[in-house]
Amino acid sequence: MKIIVVGCGKVGSALASQLSEEGHDVSVVDKNPEVVNEVSSHFDVMGIVGNGGSFSVQKELGVEDADLMIAASDSDELNLLCCLIAKKAGGCNTIARVRNPIYNTEVGFIREELGLSLTVNPEYAAAIEASRLLKFPSAIKIEPFARGHVELLKFGVPANSPLDGHTLADISRDIKGDVLVCAVERGPNHDVTIPGGAFRLQAGDTISIIADPHSARIFVEKVGLKSSRVSNCMIVGGGTIGYYLAKILLDSRIAVTIIEKDPARCQVLTADLPGARVICGDAANQNILLEEGIENCESFVSLTGMDEQNIFLSLYARRSSAKEVKLITKVNRINFDDIIDDMNLGSIMNPQQIAAEFIIRYVRAMANSIGSNVETLYNIIENKAEALEFLIHLGAPVIGIPLIDLPIKKGVLLACIYRNRHVIIPNGQSRIEVNDRVIVVTKQIGFQDIRDILETD
């Protein structure tokens, strides 16, 4: 497809990288010549310096022949203008990044009136993900499938765990329930395995399981991990993500303390979040953290604008807490993800990556409008494994055939079938039907249709 990306920031760059790798014809535009040059020199994309909201610039980019416009600049208003012009000039599909909380309750109206295909709010999506983790603190990551009826949970195998040293077949026999271990990360390079029944887990492994929320909670309890939600949370950084997260937690009756160093922002937070305790101060000052009770904190979320500060704050929170504390650390730069993973920072959150995955999912579904399209997409580990949800349409080549007879590619696991409100952990005799939601875990990146899981002659 021919795709235009406006804005070469973190979201735009991530999109340019992924979409060009998947074979799309990508053009990018930004007012800053340095970022345009950086993106166009690193990825197979065409770059133009200019205002994406200009009709003449869009014509130069070929908007009249484009299939999709993605407006991901830092300005909501510019993004909406870009999409409006693209819709009128070329009739293409449009996606706008809209992040201001003012528009959050109006986004449905905006999308309908401007004819947008999709709106994306990275900060709100990040807050939703963080709130989900705080309600299930033993998980490093939780990804919903089948509209929340199925979940993929990632968590570590600690020393002295009942899982240590046991095969998956043993675990399945001893811990009964509809739960499937679908991926295991092991070693300093985080090598990913799609395991079989004979695979033996070790302390230090990071495993991903697929189950309905109830079965997942029972499984986690049986293996000795914490499954109850936190009762309090300390948030450092009162920006947009911090505001969204605090509001969600307060609505769930979780006590919230926000530490923010900007006095003007503190006044806004105090007025908009009357149930939260808002502290005006610099969290880099350890005395402030101690005075506000970090030792008794059940969860700690570092959301400042500096990755380094977020990392140090999380490390300090882990060391200072008298109990096991749930950590969520915002890290925007993911170039050093292998090093960051070894620092024991709890759940790493990258709002730009969340937004990019959301958009990539839409693009993959759009690229193949006939068959079985990608409904949900998550990276289990960056560039090493993905979990995808496909909605099965009439004519898909997997319908009605026992799974044991399907020529499924190596490194691909059909992990779950969701049918008529029932979660099915499939076996070799299971068959896929029309309207099923099928969750696939794969080490092969870039699947767009359910037929991609099959070997071809």
Res 442 pLDDT > 60: yes
Helical pair 263-272 and 240-251, crossing angle rounded to 10 deg: 30
Domains of the chain in start order, with CATH, are 2-120 (3.40.50.720), 139-222 (3.30.70.1450), 232-349 (3.40.50.720), 359-453 (3.30.70.1450)
Q: In what order do the strands lie in the sheet with 255-260?
A: 277-280, 255-260, 232-236, 299-302, 326-330, 347-349
Question: What percentage of residues in the chain have a pLDDT greater than 70?
Answer: 96
Residues with Cβ < 8 Å from 78, sequence gap 6 or more? 6, 52, 53, 71
Give all strands (DSSP E) within 335-401, no chain letters: 347-349, 373-381, 385-391
> Exposed, middle or buried by CB within 10 Å (0-12, 13-18, 19+), for 23?
exposed
Distance CA 236, CA 239 (A): 9
Q: Give pLDDT, residue 292.
A: 92
Q: What is the pLDDT of residues 21-51, one digit of tens each?
A: 888 999 999 999 999 999 999 999 999 999 9
Q: Name the band, by pLDDT with cuts 50, 70 and 90, for residue 209.
A: very high
pLDDT tens, residue by residue, 326-382: 999 999 876 556 666 667 788 999 888 888 888 888 888 776 555 567 788 888 776
Q: Where are the beta strands (DSSP E) in 39-190?
A: 46-49, 68-71, 93-97, 118-120, 141-145, 150-156, 180-186
HSE-CB at 449 with a 13 A cutoff on CA atoms is 15
The pTM of this model reads 0.84
Encode pLDDT of 160-180 as tens digits.
888 999 999 988 888 777 889
Q: What is the mean pLDDT of residues 254-262?
A: 96
pLDDT at 456 over 90: no
